[in-house]
Amino acid sequence: MPMKTVTIYTDGACSGNPGPGGWGVILQAGKFQKELSGGEEHTTNNRMELTGVIAALEALKEPCLVELYSDSKYVIDALEKGWAKSWKAKGWVKGDKKPALNPDLWERLLDLCSYHTVNLHWVKGHAENKYNNRCDELAVMESQKFKPGKPSGKKKLLTGDPGPLVRVTDRIWCLPGEDFTGRDRPFLYYIKGDRLSLAVDAGNSPAHVAELYAALAAAGLPKPGLTVITHWHWDHTFGICAVEGLTMATRATNEKLRQVGAWPWTEEDMEARLSAGEDIQACADCIRREYADPETIQVVPAQMELEGPATIDLGGVTCRIIPQDSPHSRDGIFIHIPEEKALAVGDGEGGDYYKLDGQYDPDKLSALLAFLEGLEYDLALPGHQKPWSKEEQLAWLRGPKD
């Protein structure tokens, strides 16, 4: 008797990566169609991608011929190219001697792929496949269930004026951002001195810069005379080309920006960089949402290169600019504002998305904690969440990350 043929579409989403996550699934067999979804309070995008596939295959009560569609290169390539089987055979160690992430989920998925006959199909995310788009909707809806507006103790509510620009302290404002389910726009911070104002990061596009400047104008605040870039990642730097005033970054950040500035932005080139591991799927998806035409992207380095710590007197408030390695990026900058008892951390609190799927190198995390513990500040200003206290920040960094 021939096996039943089932078509499955899956997708995962994560708000923060790690953060609240969800997965969505559509199963089709003949005229039959069923949707499944679920989520977790603290997870990663790749765990949600894997969980969606597992949930779909586990829903099948007998061995089936499965046509599986996913927009996750992580899932498709690891199965299709035999990477997951190799990781398992080597005791969940990759070819570069680093641990393979998510072995618990890969173990389950490999067993299910042995039980069923699975044909794998990669589909482009957020494109014209209505089933993939529906799975994305399900995944995002599930992730939102775990996203208090009501922050889960991790996020501290902002204070100050209503509207797009939010006052954080007497001299610090921010333009709230978006997460991976949107355009991955970071929080942009603005520090007002009596003589000069400083912006933290340039945002992910000229449109993002324009939004910040419009919000400043509406609040009666001058444009920043200096914009300091915390690290090279696209969402913090692709707006540099539209910044007015001076821009500053480390030499390491500028070297990376010159490299990225030579990248072409056709669909073919973007997909090639994903396959080569030069870029990651979540960034590519958000770039497509931010830019109607990615070929208009202009990546330029900052005008000023920082080779060591610097202190800038803005007039009535100072900014100590501190180059510092972090788990997230080797070229990080932290900005200490002593008078406001605040520290702008960029994405320095985050894990490594390019090499560790958003997880943390233990040695780099320990070094970051020692660095933060040695600074005097009450309020941390992160790149992708609302400001929170130093106490909350350190407690979270010391806690489990899986």
Q: Of these residues, 24, 39, 71, 328, which one is catalytic? A: 71
d(CA 71, CA 15): 17
Whether 363 is catalytic is no
- Spell out where 15-134 has E strands: 19-29, 32-43, 64-70, 117-122
Strands 4-14 and 379-382: unpaired
d(CA 57, CA 321): 51
Beta strand pairing call for 379-382 and 310-313? unpaired
Where does residue 201 fall: left (phi above 0), alpha (psi -120 to 50 degrees), or beta otherwise? Answer: left
User: What digits encode the pLDDT tens for the residues 224-267?
Assistant: 999 999 999 999 999 999 999 999 999 999 999 999 999 999 98
Active site residue 49: yes
Residue 402 catalytic?
A: no
Helix 73-80, helix 103-115: angle, nearest 10:
60
Helix segments in 13-102, DSSP class H: 45-58, 73-80, 83-89
pLDDT, position 401:
54
Encoding tokens for residue 158? Answer: 């902002």
C-alpha 289/C-alpha 184 separation (Å) is 9
Active-site pick, 12, 16, 19, 239: 12
What integer pLDDT is reported at residue 385 of this predicted model?
Answer: 86
pLDDT band at 355 (very low <50, low <70, confident <90, very high): confident
- Taking only the tens place, the pLDDT of each residue in 15-41 is 777 888 999 999 999 888 889 999 998
Q: pLDDT band at 147, cuts 50/70/90?
A: low
* Marked catalytic residue, from 35, 77, 126, 392: 126
Q: Which residues contact 61 (CB under 8 A, 6 or more apart)?
A: none
Report how far apart, in Å, the C-alpha atoms of 22 and of each of 47, 185, 359 are.
Answer: 9, 20, 18
Reading phi first (left if > 0) and then psi (alpha if -120 to 50, else beta), residue 233 is in beta
* Dihedral sign of CA atoms 203, 205, 206, 211 in order: negative
- Which comes out higher in pLDDT, residue 207 or 400? 207
CA atoms within 13 A on the CB side of 236: 31
Catalytic residue among 39, 116, 136, 208: 136
Distance CA 78, CA 357 (A): 14
Give the N- to C-terminal CA distance of the chain in Å, as an integer.
43
CB 307 within 8 A of CB 251: yes
- Residue 157 has φ and ψ, to the nearest 5°, of -65, 140
pLDDT at 63: 94
Higher pLDDT, 145 or 26: 26
Q: Coil, strand, or helix at residue 29?
A: strand
| 148 pLDDT tier (thresholds 50, 70, 90) | low
State residue 255 phi and psi, 5-degree precision.
-60, -40
Question: pTM of this prediction?
Answer: 0.63
Q: CA 123, CA 129: separation in Å to the nearest integer? A: 8
Work out whether strand 333-337 and strand 64-70 pair parallel, antiparallel, or are unpaired. unpaired
Name the active-site residue from 11, 142, 179, 340: 11
CA angle 321, 223, 380 (to 5 degrees): 40
| Integer angstrom CA distances of residue 373 from 138, 177, 396 | 40, 27, 13
Check if 208 is active-site: no
Closest CA to 187 of 326, 49, 306, 342: 342
Are the C-beta atoms of residues 379 and 391 closer than 8 Å to each other?
A: no
**pLDDT value of position 354:** 85
Residue type, 214: A
Q: State yes or no: is 236 an active-site residue.
A: no
Residues in the chain: 402
Pairing of strands 172-175, 188-192: antiparallel
